[in-house]
Amino acid sequence: MKKRTYIWILVLTFFVLAAATTVSFFFISFDRAPTIPSSAYLRLDLSGPIVDYPETGFWTAFLPGGRALSVHDVWMSLRMAKVDRRIEGIFLKIGPLECDWAKCAEIRDALLDFRRSGKKAVAFLEELPEADKEYYLATGCDRIAIHPLGWIGINGLGGFVPFFKKGLDMLGIRAEFEHVEEFKTAYNQFTETGFTAAHREMTESLLRSRFEDYVAAVADARKKSPEEVRALIDRAFFQGEQAKEAGLVDEVLYEDQAVALWAKDGRPAKPVLLSAYERVDPSSLGLNIGRRIALIYGQGAIHGGSGLAQTMGSDTVTGWFRAAREDSSIAAVVFRVDSPGGSAVASDAIWREVQLTRKKKPVVVSMSDLAGSGGYWIAMGADKIIAQPQTLTGSIGVISGKFDLSGLAGKLGITTEKIALGEKADIFSPYRPMTAGEHALFKKQILWIYDRFTAQAAEGRKMTPEAVNRVGRGRVWTGRQAKDLGLVDELGGLSKAIETAKNLAGIDVQEEVRLVVWPKRIPFFASIFGRRETEATRALAGILPPEWRNALDWARRLNEERVWAVMPVLPQ
């Protein structure tokens, strides 16, 4: 054998061994349970985007931005830490959060439940100029500390909604949409120059409901009256000692000093990060065992076809429901919804699977930040609906239309010629406006779909279609308002939904159950050899960040739909 051949064999052998070593390293490092010290505290660094359930691909952790924080991981870790004798307390460092109020409420509820074990939780704040959500979350802890030079702004709720009609008029673009009915304001940004009376009424009502919940929660946690809390909110900004003097925080400390606040008798303990602790097997602590309950996560915009971890493709979600329905070992289904809606047709397809599943086993919906319009459509067929007081839901209504770009084309010197076989063959063309007759036709079509929407809501909620119409008409409600109106059954979070599912399935509330979660997390080898392409592997091959690719993907899918059930934009 020639010398060159030996060299090539040696080179090939080296790369095979290197690859095998790398595979073994990743497999062992990311699948092996961590070693938890006998005296430890769980450290939670909550900042940036928080989703209900993270991306499922193995490679996501290695992409820019990494794996997003998820409510599911925090909730499960706090449940484990509550009963784990090795964990003596929790240190919660809070930065600016990119999520809405209901997710904060879910984590706050889990913190309050953790504290029932007798263990302490300490929150640490540094610099949060707009900290209403973050401060609300911090009040779920025993004590709150702030950096000596830190400051927080608890300046209330509200902001601006931009309206683009005048700008579009200048560009020669016209938004042509029909909607049902006056509160269905998803496209008012493009068709109006400001709030309509209904849009303003709804928005002010939502903010007022959330604000009252916020004030009541802070007042209870900080032992103040609601009037005192409102006065502090009107003052808005508090630095270090000012925050302590106002009773908003307990201590003014550096981070290393704040860590020791919960320690027993000053004994040192070692930190355990969430990213490590979430790999602990819950069954080793007596959790997530016993009879099985499916936990299906439906997140993001609803569209036809296959979905991603952060969008809801009807084919994907209906497949999960069929799998849960046909699995005789699964006693009930909890459907966790976090969606502003999307395609009416895709929403109805998911609703159908919820109905079919409900005939064989209980289905309970747990609403996160958003479960409105299409997000409510997919939920309304469940046996029970549980929402946080701050959840945005309802928005029973539909919308359809297009953008007319003919004015812009004229400004740019673009000319068009028409060839159409059929009177309305070009009705969706962006190069001409709709006629009055076509607007009437669109209205008729979406009214028919709205009637279907309200009829199904009436059936699911045991109301008359007339009663549903009174609370429908596109109007968004908070979870607390929705409960009073009969659109949801109970206020609470994921734990409440699981408790309800156990009760409906005839399982003792105190009995532990095993959660069978969809979407399934994709293990290392499946991410390499699996047939189906995951979002993570697509992102590796792309130029744009994964979240941009997600947004573009569902926007493309929704563009293929013609009737939408989507929520409006709220002040930012």
Can you give the pLDDT at residue 551? Answer: 54
Query: What's residue 34's pLDDT?
Result: 84
**Quick one: what percent of the chain has pLDDT higher than 70?**
84
Which residues, 6 or more positions from 564, have their beta carbon under 8 angstroms from its beta carbon?
186, 341, 342, 343, 344, 373, 374, 398, 399, 400, 558
Q: What pLDDT band is residue 248 in, cutting at 50, 70 and 90?
A: very high
For the record, the structure tokens of 245 come out as 């003097």
User: Using an 8 Å Cβ cutoff, are 390 and 102 in contact?
Assistant: yes
Place of tokens 């054998």: 1
Closest CA to 348 of 307, 381, 372, 391: 381
Q: What's the DSSP call for residue 475?
A: -
For helices 494-504 and 101-115, angle between their N-to-C axes, nearest 10 degrees: 70
Q: Where are the beta strands (DSSP E) in 519-571?
A: 564-566
Rounded to 5 degrees, what are φ and ψ at 199?
-60, -45
Residue predicted with more confidence, 179 or 307: 179
Read off the pLDDT of residues 61-93 as tens digits, 9 standing for 90 and up. 444 445 689 999 999 999 999 999 999 999 999
Question: Which residues does 436 contact at the CB level (< 8 Å), separation at least 6?
Answer: none
Q: Residue 342: helix, strand or coil by DSSP?
A: strand
Which is more confident, 422 or 560? 422
Q: What is the pLDDT at residue 570?
A: 74
Q: Are 345 and 312 in contact (CB under 8 A)?
A: no
108-113's contacts with Cβ under 8 Å and 24+ in sequence apart are 108/136, 108/137, 108/139, 108/140, 108/217, 109/140, 109/492, 109/493, 109/495, 110/74, 110/75, 110/78, 110/79, 110/493, 110/495, 111/78, 111/137, 111/140, 111/141, 112/140, 113/78, 113/79, 113/82, 113/495
3-state secondary structure (DSSP) of residue 193: coil
Q: pLDDT band at 6, cuts 50/70/90?
A: low
pLDDT (0 to 100) of residue 533? 42
Burial class (CB in 10 A: 0-12, 13-18, 19+), 560: exposed
Q: In the prediction, which pLDDT does 537 show?
A: 44
- pLDDT tens by residue, 461-492: 999 999 999 999 999 999 999 999 999 999 99
CA distance 564 to 179: 10
H helix runs in 59-196, sequence order: 71-83, 101-115, 132-138, 165-171, 188-191
pLDDT in tens, 378-415: 999 999 999 999 999 999 999 999 999 999 999 999 99
Contacts of 242 (CB under 8 A, 6+ apart): none
pLDDT above 80 (res 176): yes
CA 261 to CA 266: how far, in whole Å? 8
Helix (H), strand (E), coil (C) string for 48-78: EEEECCCCCCHHHHHCCCCCCEEHHHHHHHH
Enumerate domains of the chain plus CATH numbers: 33-155+236-281 (3.90.226.10), 290-397+436-565 (3.90.226.10)
CB 400 within 8 A of CB 564: yes
Distance CA 393, CA 367 (A): 8
Q: Which of 225, 219, 272 is nearest to 38 (CA)?
A: 272
Question: Residue 17 has what pLDDT?
Answer: 54
Secondary structure E strands in 185-246: 237-239
Which regions of 115-203 does DSSP assign to beta strands (E)?
120-128, 143-153, 174-180
pLDDT at 56 over 90: no
Sign of CA dihedral 144, 386, 479, 74: positive
For β-strands 341-343 and 363-372, DSSP reports them as unpaired
Task: Please name which of 293, 294, 393 lies closest in space to residue 337, comparing C-alpha atoms.
Answer: 393
State the amino acid at position 531 in one-letter form: R
Count CB-CB contacts under 10 A for residue 126: 15
At residue 197, what are phi and psi to the nearest 5 degrees? Answer: -60, -45
pTM of the model: 0.90
Q: Is the pLDDT of residue 283 over 70?
A: yes
| First and final C-alpha spacing in the chain | 73
